[in-house]
């Protein structure tokens, strides 16, 4: 085994060469910037495992969030929760994803103020915009209408369902007040007494 020596000005003599202050023949662990090589190796493994786990978590979360919308209803006509003056003849919804056009899988059910089912037939999915679905309804007067929807995504087959309401309440009109001036006034001069 070959030994390497160097002259130490601090000590004023030759000393065996060391790795970061420790003799290679010494049983102590080698150190790099104050950490033992074994400790650095453990930290590196732990950091790699943590980064790998974090990466997998982001991949799983990203895949799950991409499918959380499914074919959920985003907007409707009449608007969700709105109050309108006249009962509509049809209800339409727009969804987050393309809708499966099979009426057994995707449909709308509209209930009038009396609780009676007033939707006519099955809902139809628009051919030009497959995220839209509409259904005709019977006129049912004033009050709160409930729309229940079921959808299945055409993209991934995931089902979703929900409901919303809208209210039909005619605008209140007030009777006009008469503005004509029916009274007339006359100017008369006071009569003078005729005493001389």
pLDDT at site 139: 82
pLDDT at site 62: 62
What whole-number distance in Å separates Cα of residue 183 and Cα of residue 180?
A: 9
pLDDT at site 53: 81
The domain that holds 161 is classified in CATH as: 2.60.40.1220
What whole-number distance in Å separates Cα of residue 188 and Cα of residue 51?
A: 104
Give the number of domains in the chain.
2
Strand pairing partners for 32?
A: 35
Are residues 84 and 42 located together in one domain of the fold? no
Contacts of 138 (CB under 8 A, 6+ apart): 112, 118, 120
Are residues 96 and 133 located together in one domain of the fold? yes
pLDDT at site 42: 80
Whether the model clears a pTM of 0.95, i.e. scores above it, the answer is no
Are residues 36 and 81 located together in one domain of the fold? no
Examine the fold and report which residue of 42, 66, 90 is the final residue of a domain before the chain moves on.
66
What whole-number distance in Å separates Cα of residue 20 and Cα of residue 68?
A: 56
Are residues 62 and 24 located together in one domain of the fold? yes
What whole-number distance in Å separates Cα of residue 149 and Cα of residue 106?
A: 8
pLDDT at site 196: 52
Cβ atoms within 10 A of the Cβ of 27, count?
Answer: 6
Two tokens, residue 164: 């919303």
Strand pairing partners for 124?
A: 134
Q: List, for the chain, all residue ranges whose pLDDT scores fall below the cut of 70.
A: 1-6, 15-35, 37, 61-69, 174-196
pLDDT at site 128: 94
Query: Is residue 64 classed as helix, strand or coil in its secondary structure?
Result: helix
What whole-number distance in Å separates Cα of residue 196 and Cα of residue 183?
A: 39
| Omega before residue 52 within 30° of 0, cis | no
Residue showing tokens 């499914």: 70
What whole-number distance in Å separates Cα of residue 82 and Cα of residue 166?
A: 5
Query: Is residue 53 classed as helix, strand or coil in its secondary structure?
Result: helix
Are residues 53 and 77 located together in one domain of the fold? no
Q: Are 110 and 135 in contact (CB under 8 A)?
A: yes
Domain of residue 115 covers 73-168
pLDDT at site 69: 64
pLDDT at site 171: 80
Two tokens, residue 51: 């980064």
Q: Are 110 and 143 in contact (CB under 8 A)?
A: no
């Amino acid at each position: 085994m070959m030994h390497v020596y160097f002259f130490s000005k601090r000590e004023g003599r030759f000393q065996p060469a060391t790795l970061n202050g420790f003799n290679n023949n010494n049983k102590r662990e080698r150190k790099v910037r104050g950490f033992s090589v074994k400790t650095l190796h453990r930290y590196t493994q732990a950091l790699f495992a943590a980064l790998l786990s974090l990466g997998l978590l982001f991949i799983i979360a990203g895949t799950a969030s991409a499918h959380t919308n499914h074919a959920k209803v985003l907007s409707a006509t009449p608007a969700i929760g709105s109050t309108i003056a006249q009962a509509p003849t049809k209800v339409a919804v727009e969804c987050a994803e393309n809708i499966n056009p099979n009426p057994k899988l995707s449909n709308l059910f509209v209930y009038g103020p009396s609780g009676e089912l007033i939707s006519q037939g099955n809902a139809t999915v628009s051919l030009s915009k497959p995220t839209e679905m509409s259904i005709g309804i019977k006129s049912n007067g004033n009050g709160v209408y409930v729309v229940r929807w079921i959808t299945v995504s055409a993209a991934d087959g995931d089902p979703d369902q929900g409901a919303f309401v809208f209210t039909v309440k005619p605008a209140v009109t007030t009777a006009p007040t008469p503005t004509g001036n029916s009274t007339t006034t006359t100017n008369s001069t006071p009569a003078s007494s005729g005493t001389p």
